[in-house]
Structure 1
């Protein structure tokens, strides 16, 4: 990680869970980290926690469903630090727990805007930022899901799963475009299994769903995914990590009665 000391990392979905853990880990490694999320107060609390670490943390309020917010975010980073060197596309939502037969176009668009469109736009703007500064050693890391590799028999997750399959395909597509351009910019994907975060809180109207899911299963910690990200960034120049699945031991069980 020494090569990234003083470089700039953008982390979306930075207000809690995996995103906040990634921000903390990268700041401790000496990076200038910009956290982007809607809940600015949560990120401000994190900034206070990290104020004496090796790197710095700048929270920026951003709704990634709004293109104008993302463009403003990149303008802010350019003005403050010069540009983005590492982009961690972590923002993601499951939705409100409606299966495909009962879902609504409004909800599908919201999930797609966060999980797919924002990821693509942030990736594109990161590549542009690197090119503008004549840099060819950046890294894009997409935080996907084990749901990008399997369709669980759980209707509330089916549209979300579709967006994560899309992330998998789009990541490979962008990697191919970068390689065709002889770019040194790397692209990696991390596909976590069950992680103990708040992402399950709104998936159904059953208030005990998240609690019961974590009781039934072994789960990862957000810090585990943050460490996976730093390990990817630590890889030598000749190595590119394509897609890693990080999962807790044991099968995934749901109480859907």
Structure 2
């Protein structure tokens, strides 16, 4: 049994922590006093996130990780357990998109990579978190999966991303159901148009369902980071099952 007395505070793991939403959430949690493990494929970007934390960087541990590989995720959780002994919050965030091409032009290799990262990677990290949360003392913790507006409504020419994000919703529901008895809460945040490098193209115009190309509004990624942190800090007898946070005027309600 792993005791909470071996840690100096709440411990969070953020995947995809080298850029964008993952970086913003990691910095927010560090600012709130968490010990934060930073996971992502590119170690140099994780170090940039750590440096951006300033004085709080002493509470950040960068662990280069490919979430699509079981051995890499196993190594991540070994490092986390050795460093902190427990895990209170997993922000299951790592993901990727695909080129906006018609379904018949999408290479199967790209499809598989999107599925491996967005879905299998999220499963592997959730599995590692559940294994640790079930045996630590006190038992339990929280998993927050990064869904998307595309978990409900697709953009044109986004079949791989949309299919995986719909699947994440099923993953969230299954974890929430199956892990109740172990005091593990699981919720999902669905984000629309946070201002990151991934959404930079929206400032110049993106394809719409009617075939037109239009500029779309974006929102400060800091709002997303605070929303995730607020979900994380709820007591485990309370759960935000699904939250949608979006730029108010983006096309979602009535999309299509």
Please classify the TM superposition score into its range, dividing by the shorter chain length.
0.7 to 0.9
Match of 1:31 in 2: 34
Name the SS for the 2:204 alignment partner: helix
| Correspondence 1:46-195 to 2 at 5 A | 46-53=49-56, 56-152=59-155, 154-155=156-157, 157-179=158-180, 182-195=181-194
Name the SS for the 1:15 alignment partner: coil
User: Contact 2:202/2:216 (CA < 8 Å) preserved in 1?
Assistant: no
Distance 2:20 2:238 in 1: 28
Structure 1 residue 25 displacement after superposition: 0.5
Structure 1 residue 73 displacement after superposition: 0.6
**After superposition, what is the alpha-carbon deviation per residue over 1:134-155, rounded to whole angstroms, capped at 9, x for unaligned?**
3333000001101001123x11
Segments ≥4 residues shifted beyond 4 Å: none
User: Contact 2:202/2:215 (CA < 8 Å) preserved in 1?
Assistant: no
Unaligned runs of 5+ in 1: 202-208
Structure 1 residue 70 displacement after superposition: 0.8
User: Contact 2:66/2:72 (CA < 8 Å) preserved in 1?
Assistant: yes
Say whether residues 1:213 and 2:205 are aligned partners.
yes
**After superposition, what is the alpha-carbon deviation per residue over 1:78-98, rounded to whole angstroms, capped at 9, x for unaligned?**
111113221111111112333
User: Contact 2:147/2:169 (CA < 8 Å) preserved in 1?
Assistant: yes
Name the SS for the 2:182 alignment partner: coil
- TM-score scaled by length of structure 2: 0.87
User: Contact 1:187/1:240 (CA < 8 Å) preserved in 2?
Assistant: yes
Distance 2:58 2:251 in 1: 37
Unaligned runs of 5+ in 2: 1-6, 207-213
CA gap of 1:81–1:218, structure 2 versus 1, over 3 A, is same
Distance 2:217 2:203 in 1: 12
**Matched residue pairs, number?**
239
User: Contact 1:64/1:70 (CA < 8 Å) preserved in 2?
Assistant: yes
Structure 1 residue 53 displacement after superposition: 2.6
| Correspondence 1:193-232 to 2 at 5 A | 193-200=192-199, 209-213=201-205, 216-232=215-231
User: Contact 1:27/1:55 (CA < 8 Å) preserved in 2?
Assistant: no
Q: More strand per residue: 1 or 2? A: 2
CA gap of 1:5–1:30, structure 2 versus 1, over 3 A, is farther
Deviates more, 1:211-220 or 1:18-27: 211-220
CA gap of 1:213–1:128, structure 2 versus 1, over 3 A, is same
